Amino acid sequence: MLLISSELEEVLSLSDRVLVIYEGKITAEFSRDQANEREIGFCMGGGKKS
């Protein structure tokens, strides 16, 4: 299932895996245990996953 939302809290509560799309490309992937709002938000703005 594909879930699209601007509410990161909602995404984290419903997802097993999170992929970030920036400028039409997947730029980061997070599993549920490594995902956090700060890191995902950073990647949403074009930052690179550390």
Give 1-35 pLDDT, tens digit per residue: 888 888 888 989 999 999 999 999 999 999 988 88
What pTM was computed for the model? 0.77
Distance separating alpha carbons of residues 50 and 26, to the nearest angstrom = 15
Number of domains into which the chain is organized: 1
Answer yes or no: are the C-beta atoms of 20 and 43 closer than 8 Å.
Answer: yes
Q: Is residue 25 part of a domain?
A: yes
- Domain extent, residue 18, equals 8-44
pLDDT of residue 20: 92
Q: Is residue 1 part of a domain?
A: no
Q: Is residue 3 part of a domain?
A: no
